[in-house]
A and B are shown apart, each in its own frame.
Chain A
Amino acid sequence: MKTETDLTNVNVNMARRSFLRYAGAGVAGIGLLSAVSSCHKDHNVVPTAGVTDVGSGDIGVLNFAYALEQLEAAFYLQVVATPYTSIPSIELSYLTDIRDHEVCHREFFKAALGTSAIQGLTPDFSKIDFTSRTAVLAAAKAFEDLGVTAYDGIAYNIQNAAYLSIAGSIVSVEARHAALIGNLITQGNFVSSDQVDTNGLNISNKPSAVLAGANVYLKTKVSANSFS
């Protein structure tokens, strides 16, 4: 699998960004906006110590997805290893299937990214009581809902159509998981009101918002600075 970002596209985008920078400097140079206080942000992504940044471009998108899939896979591995009290066999079966899907996703991104992959992340599930059905399903719903909003929110940044297709192939499976967990919590609650807008569209989230949620459950904190 081709894991390098398409260099042609990168150059086009770089040219575009450079142009905007140039044009902006030109405008400022003639004093047009000199009276306006500047809140100009630094372009250079400054890495924060101890935080793993996913990087930029398509590699960044894939690493962002890889980070989330690592978190989800780790969660379900734990759920299946230590099932909640009195778990019905059908629920254990469903959760085992989901575990296997998330491991597929995690391993797919790891293989696809190769040497461009971020490190393996260490989860922190100390806030989750794995003996409690209520707690586990609530956490599962949060992870699945978060995953759906994450893929939908970052997808327009993807430059390679093949990567976009694969992201689409994964996000609908995450949505299937989310709906099932919703139904397990409350029958018929497969499109939770907090996950759709008034047009019947699933909400989506910016990478920064997604990671704010994900980092609660990660010892290794992750950032996606180039995607804001």
Chain B
Amino acid sequence: MNLFSIVEEIEKIDPEFNDRISPRRDAIKNITSFGSKVAIAAVPFALGNLFKKAYGQTASASVISVLNFALTLEILEATFYNDGMAASGLVTDTSYITQIQSDENKHVAFLTSAISAAGGTPVTASDFVYLDYTGGAGSMAGPFTGVFTNYQTFLAVAETFEDTGVRAYKGQAPNLLGNQTYLTAALDIHAVEARHASAIRYLRTTKYGATVLPWITSTASASVDTSGAASNDTGVAAVNANYGGATPENTTVQGGVNILNLPSATGSTTTFAAASAAFDEPLTMAEVLAILVPAFTKPKS
């Protein structure tokens, strides 16, 4: 193993390694002087400094902002499940809900420590004026009144939270482009949120007579379904916006490819149901915040 290979191996794992070390021209200068001044016995020490310099840096403000946005969502979700499990006699399917509750609380802890480690200030529950899961903007009497006394309402809100969480993480992925540490972590959480969404949907349909599939199966719409009316398959019109947006869930053109025109297992074209369900679409940060604020929460200013 030589230095060349070491740097190359790190670069494979972390494409930004070279940028982390220092700007490119400085890196040339530094490595030249490094090579000319450091004796072989000092190499491990010098390499240690090189690594520390690469990884000890604080994350950029934009990365911290993405992480705090994610943490805000996770606090909302974790508190929702904590309150639900604390509500006497509410939750019947404890194996489902405790799994999700546990995951969401782990996400809160993980993001909190990740933001601190990256040099940022993590948001906390005390940063919000209220958390109102009825969607009542603090009145506790919104469209989901009874969310902690009526289990079906609780599950419907849970389903929407999970679907929205998936869309929110997806929307932030491009802001973490090329960032092995944070993009991978965000996508790993994103996948767990999608597992939750699938499970809540499955539970509602197989046990409680809802008709949702584990995947969001939208109906066609003549134009971009910004309002979400056609994209929302939950049957709860109050959450249309959670399924709409600039790239709504019923989108069937992906990267310029019209999925409807592609061959399927049974013919030369693809059904709308399959084409819309096979891809989950993102929500932007602004779209997510417009859904959550002020209906469900309001940050202290």
Chain A residues close to B by CB (< 8 Å): 1-2, 13, 16-17, 19-21, 23-28, 30, 32-33, 35-41, 77, 80, 90, 94, 97, 99-101, 103-105, 107-108, 111-112, 148, 151-153, 155-159, 161-166, 168-180, 182-183, 187-188, 190-191, 196-204, 228
Contacts and interface: CB of A to CB of B under 8 A. Distances in A.
B222 interface: no
Contact of B265 (A39, A100, A175, A197): A100
Contact of B214 (A41, A111, A180): A180
Contacts of A190: 96, 99, 195-196, 198-199, 202
A156 B277 contact: no
B3 A24 contact: yes
B103 A172 contact: no
Nearest to B107: A200
Nearest to B178: A156
B35 A32 contact: yes
B189 A172 contact: no
A161 B255 CA distance: 11
A152 B262 contact: no
Contact of A172 (B4, B170, B185): B170
A36 B198 CA distance: 53
A165 B173 contact: yes
Contacts of B199: 179-180, 183, 188, 190-191
Given A105-B278, A162-B255, A176 B183 contact: no
B177 A169 contact: no
A77 B170 contact: no
Chain B contact residues (Cβ within 8 angstroms of A): what range?
A: 35 or more
B3 A33 contact: yes
A32 B44 CA distance: 12
B27 interface: yes
Q: Pick the most buried of A25, A28, A107: most chain B CB atoms within 10 A of its CB.
A: A107
Nearest to B185: A201
Given A19-B28, A100-B271, A169 B279 contact: yes
The 3 closest A-B pairs by CB, nearest first: A24-B4, A200-B106, A188-B95
Given A35-B40, A111-B262, A179-B198, A168 B187 contact: yes
Interface string B240-276: 0000000000000011110100111100001101110
Contact of A104 (B18, B178, B196, B274): B274
A94 B40 CA distance: 62
Interface string B1-37: 1111101100110010010000010011001101110
16 contacts: A24-B2, A36-B1, A40-B4, A100-B270, A151-B187, A152-B191, A155-B184, A155-B187, A166-B255, A172-B170, A177-B215, A191-B195, A199-B110, A200-B110, A201-B188, A202-B188
Contact of A176 (B96, B177, B198, B256): B198
Given A168-B187, A173-B279, A100 B35 contact: no
B278 A191 contact: no
B265 A38 contact: no
B236 interface: no
Contacts of B27: 19, 23
A38 B6 CA distance: 11
B43 A33 contact: yes
A176 B184 contact: no
